[in-house]
Each structure stands twice: as C-alpha cells, then as structure tokens.
Amino acid sequence: MNRIIIANFVRFVVLIFIQVFLLKNVTVYGLSTPYLYILFVMLLPFETPNILLFLLSFLIGISVDAFYDTPGLHAAATVLLAFVRVLFISVTVQKESFDTEPQPTMGSMGFRWFLTYATLLTLFHHFLLFNLEVFRFSEIQYTLSRFLLSSLFTIFLLLVSGLLFFRKKRI
C-alpha cells in the first residue's frame, strides 16, 4: 500500500514538472497543446475512493492552473475527467478484476481498452477546458480545432507513455 502511495506521489510531481517546464512551451501552429498531466488521474488505482479521486484531480488541476495562470480551468476540467473515469470504469470493469488488475494501465487492461479509455477521458477533459477558456460562440471554429488537435496530440503522448512503460500481464 505504501509503495502505491509513493509511486503516485512521484507520478504527480513528475507529471506536473513535465507539463509545466516542458510541455507548456510545446505547441503546434498555436493550435495543439498536449496536456499529459491528465495521465495521473487516469492511472490511479481502481479502488481509489471517489472522494479521494476528486480531491486528487482537483489538486493536480489547480497545480497546473497555478503555473498556467488559468484560475480554475484545469481544475474544473480535471474533476470532470475524474467523474467520467468513474462512470467508464463502472461500466467496463468488473469489481472482481480489481484484485488481479489494480491499475488501469495498457499492460493490465490491453491496448484497445486503454485506447478507448484514454480517448474518451481526453475528449471530455479537453472539450470542457477549451470551451471554458474561450467561452464565446463566435470563436467556435477556433475552439473546436484546438480541441481536436490538442486531443490528438495528448492521446498520442498518452499512448507513447503507455508503451514506454508497458508491462505485459502475468499469466
């Protein structure tokens, strides 16, 4: 149990560091910005209590907000991500498999499941984030293009990180 807490704390710090000091300055034509920090919420163990999940989601979102000067945008989008995560996991994963598969990683759940999981959660997160950021109907085309391109970029980075740290299931 302590190993899981330490691993998640290190993941929290590392993802904030990568997001703030590396990915903040990475944009493609001013339209696509990756948000890899959402991987922290995605990889929390299945048995994480919902109240702790929402609290940790808020904490990582508000931490990114502090560095991006966006008061509460990332926090709100990350809490929505946690809510969608709870719904998705309750629909797709059986409670009995929590003991054998403690975390929703690509290695434990398979590529197809992880791709669906990462895509759905990223789309919800980015849609709310970019709509809250602009919040004007006159900018809908720009907002949708940023939403789609940033989602693709983020999903690509999520899959690459999943493949880099891929551990096959033990049989």
CA atoms of 112 and 118, how far apart (whole Å):
10
Q: Which pTM does this prediction carry?
A: 0.88
pLDDT of res. 100: 60
CB distance 36 to 158 below 8 Å: yes
**Residues 54-65: tens digit of each pLDDT:** 999 999 999 999
Structure tokens at 52: 């702790």
- Backbone region of residue 149 per phi and psi (left: phi > 0; alpha: psi in -120 to 50; beta: other values): alpha
Angle at 65 between CA 48 and CA 130, to 5 degrees: 90
Q: Residue 171: which pLDDT band, with cuts at 50, 70 and 90?
A: very low
Kindly report which listed range (4-8, 63-67, 92-96) carries the lowest average pLDDT score.
92-96
Q: pLDDT tens for residues 103-127?
A: 888 878 888 988 999 999 999 999 9
